[in-house]
Amino acid sequence: MSAKRIGDHTVSTNQPIELAPRADLQARTEGDPGGAWILVAVLAAIPVRGARVVATPEGDVAVFRTSDDQVFAVRDRCPHKGGPLSQGIVFGHRVACPLHNWVIDLEQGQAVAPDEGCAARFPVRVTDGMVYLALRAF
């Protein structure tokens, strides 16, 4: 495993991020879907048009960063044959599965026509360069 130092933070560059929820990493916001937000990454550690995998009790979640610096989170499993979406090609707000080229819309989690299926989405937000994830899928 290699690690990268970004400011006061050390992040893994080639391993899933293991969640260890702690009270000081959680914050509540009114009206959010899951209530608790968990710090999962430093934004700079997620490559533009790339992804990082977050290992959660709900399964692996792929956190994507698009070329316009939007961040999206979906289950790291293509609805077609279970391919790792985190290893796909990111373009616009979509990702192409590396196994069979299915295209998933990152905003909706839906496969793009003519394909059908859905990857569970997770609420994600960026505050002061830190990426937070709510584990309740929607």
Is 126 a domain residue?
yes
> What are 40-98's pLDDT values in tens digits?
999 999 999 999 999 988 799 999 999 999 999 999 999 999 999 999 999 999 999 99
* Structural domain includes residue 76: yes
Residue with tokens 């990082």: 52
**Position 16 in a domain:** no
With respect to residue 22, please indicate whether it lies within any of the assigned structural domains: no
Q: What is the DSSP string of 43-83?
A: GGGSPTTEEEEEEETTEEEEEEE-TTS-EEEEESS-TTT--
Output the pLDDT for position 17: 47
CATH of the domain at 64: 2.102.10.10
pLDDT of residue 90: 98
Q: Is residue 135 part of a domain?
A: no
Q: Considering Cα of 138, then 78, then 111, then 48, what sign does the dihedral take?
A: positive
Task: Give me the number of domains the chain comprises.
Answer: 1
> What is the domain extent for residue 103?
46-130
Asked, for residue 65, whether it belongs to a domain, the answer is yes
User: What pLDDT is recorded for position 35?
Assistant: 58
Residue 39 lies in a domain: no
Which residue in the block uniquely carries the two structure tokens 């997620």? 46
Residue 131 contacts residue 39 (beta carbons within 8 Å): yes
Alpha-carbon distance of 65 to 82, in angstroms, equals 21
User: For residue range 21-43, what is the model confidence (pLDDT) as tens digits?
Assistant: 433 333 333 345 545 889 999 99
